Structure 1
Amino acid sequence: MLRDKADRAGDMVVFVAVAEAGSLSGAARRLGLTPSAVSRVVARIEARLGVQLLVRTTRTLRLTAEGETYGRAARRILADLDETETALSDRGCPRGRVRVSAATAHGRLVIVPLLGAFVARHPGIVVEIDLSDEIADVLGGRADIGIRFGPLADSPLTARRLGETGRTVVAAPAYLARAGTPRRPADLADHNCLDFTFRRSEPGWPFREAERDVILPVRGTIAANNGETLVQLALGGVGITRVGTFHVADDLAAGRLVPLLEPFNPQDREAIHAVFVGGPAMPARVRVLVDFLAERMRGG
């Protein structure tokens, strides 16, 4: 019984060759075997299954319905085996192409600056980076890795936490010199607050005041659907905005923007995940890139 199981993959290879060649002799030539050896393998499979897989005459060979079913299953199993062995064998030197989908701003500011170091470490891998605020269909094969913010929807995809980001209220020194600096969240009523256009479950900006969380409605003259636009407006002295910290880290460090109302920051954090098709056949090239991003983005 153990020997029979060990021979099954080889039997499948022979049967698939027969089905594709359309003859025992054609399969024999392809595999470097004799036609009689190929015939014995087919007979062994039929005996084990107790069904006829091929109908043979002196001139033709065709698969029975059971033969078609077995052939489809054999192709699928052999393809899975090849993929698994490829994934395992390239772990020492991963190579191939990896497609990454990321949000425009986060990709440009966080992901792209890391890629040079990654390909230097793994010269056999080619990275394709697609920056878009549309969510790519990873399960459907549109990307190998997708970068996602916030809670994840139920999915058969595997998720790996890369880090998290907070949000910060900021303004340019020029704006504050002209309009004054808000000292408490309520002071924002007298300021031009630049907000996102997309709807939230609780419209407004969250703050923590007197040991309780409050959502403060804000008003402004311009709204945008992305953080980069809001940061550009803030840098231009147009008003105050609240965006992901990764958007403004460099500007805060350089003094081009100033953090506001930090004693009232609720420290709400948004998780960042990489999602991908996992499992034992996961290509090493995908695994090492996910590992690299988790290593470099941890604590972001």
Structure 2
Amino acid sequence: MARLDVNRSGEMEVFVRVVELGGFSPAARAGRMTPSAVSKLIARLEARLGARLLNRSTRQLQLTPEGCTFYERATRVLADLEDAERAASIGEEAIGRVRINTSASYATHILAPLLPDFLARHPGVTLDIVQTDAVVDLLAERMDVAIRAGPLKSSSLVARKLGETPLLIVAAPSYLERRGEPHSIADLQNHDRLGFGYARAVDGWALCENGKAVVVPATGRVQVSDGEALRQLALSGVGLARLAAFTVRDDIAAGRLVPVLGHLVSGDPEPFHAVYVGQGGPLPSRVRALLDFLARYGRVA
């Protein structure tokens, strides 16, 4: 195995330049080196390989058979290296797979309608979408991008804000006919408050009554793992649900859901971010293409 401190690609570049330009002096000028530095590099390369690559004379250089073989293979290696760097360059066309972790609500109401446009713009990109409302470790799960709702905790991740949306408490008309409409926090004690079956930053509904902030536990008979399932339960008349406004606006407009307790809901909207691991250097073009697209078209409100 070659020593790690040997710059083999650099040696190949200088050797190829010497051959193609016909001498140490023109190769030195092209590479901003001195002729003696080029001569010493070629000598070190030959010593490491244990073979003479060039026959030198006062007027010309001539490749040995070993030099011809090394030149042919070195040019292929350098071409492959250039192709690899170009493919990974941040300015290159977006190509490859992007793994996205997102909530089911964002995937259903924001992301899915946008996918035909994104895929048409970037035919070289494929998407692997994993839906979960729980926070995942991007590195452990090998995710490129995650869409997260709520305040961000301090971490090594980089975030791009995708807007913010109010949270609304809603119920189906059938549920309100059966159980009555709540008008105060006290009224909620007599209602099924649907919630999530995993730990959240705020474990309950943040409400405000008479200037006092209150967190009301979601203690309904059903708990779920994502907001879209919660919406479906609310539509079915199972109970009250507290959901992001962008997920229920169409349902409210169509009369499928009715907002309640609007005067008690906290005025703080819920922020959404696209987070990614990006502090180690430039982003791959495939990831940057998705982030730029979401920042422009994938915003919530």
TM-score (norm 2): 0.69
* Deviation (angstroms), 1:176: 0.9
Structure 1 residue aligned with 2:196: 196
Structure 2 residue aligned with 1:127: 127
Counterparts of 1:145 and 1:80, CA distance in 2: 28
User: Paired residue for 1:43, among 40, 52, 64?
Assistant: 40
* Deviation (angstroms), 1:225: 2.8
Structure 1 residue aligned with 2:295: 294
1:211–1:255 Cα change, 3 Å: same
8 Å Cα contact 1:14/1:41 also seen in 2: no
* Deviation (angstroms), 1:290: 0.9
Pairs within 5 Å for 1:225-240? 225-240=225-240
| Corresponding residue pairs, total | 259
8 Å Cα contact 1:170/1:242 also seen in 2: yes
Contiguous gaps of at least 5 residues in structure 1: 1-10, 19-26, 60-74
Structure 1 residue aligned with 2:213: 213
Structure 1 residue aligned with 2:144: 144
Q: Deviations 1:31-87 (Å, cap 9, x if unpaired)?
A: 96599969974723899xxxx99546459xxxxxxxxxxxxxxx9xx9799647852
SS of equivalent to 1:237: coil
Larger gyration radius, structure 1 or structure 2:
2
Contiguous gaps of at least 5 residues in structure 2: 1-6, 28-35, 53-76
Structure 1 residue aligned with 2:115: 115
1:207–1:14 Cα change, 3 Å: closer
Counterparts of 2:81 and 2:135, CA distance in 1: 29
SS of equivalent to 2:194: strand
* Deviation (angstroms), 1:240: 1.3
Counterparts of 1:296 and 1:57, CA distance in 2: 60
- Compute the RMSD of aligned alpha carbons: 4.1
Counterparts of 2:150 and 2:196, CA distance in 1: 16
1:205–1:146 Cα change, 3 Å: closer
Structure 2 residue aligned with 1:255: 255
Structure 1 residue aligned with 2:31: none
* Deviation (angstroms), 1:294: 1.2
Asked if residue 162 in structure 1 is aligned to residue 158 in structure 2, the reply is no
1:45–1:130 Cα change, 3 Å: farther
The percent identity for this pair of structures is 39
Structure 2 residue aligned with 1:13: 9
1:264–1:86 Cα change, 3 Å: same
* Deviation (angstroms), 1:251: 1.6
* Deviation (angstroms), 1:260: 0.5
Counterparts of 2:139 and 2:22, CA distance in 1: 43
1:96–1:265 Cα change, 3 Å: same
SS of equivalent to 1:101: strand
Counterparts of 1:200 and 1:132, CA distance in 2: 13
Instruction: Select between 176-185 and 200-209 the one with higher mean Cα deviation.
Output: 200-209
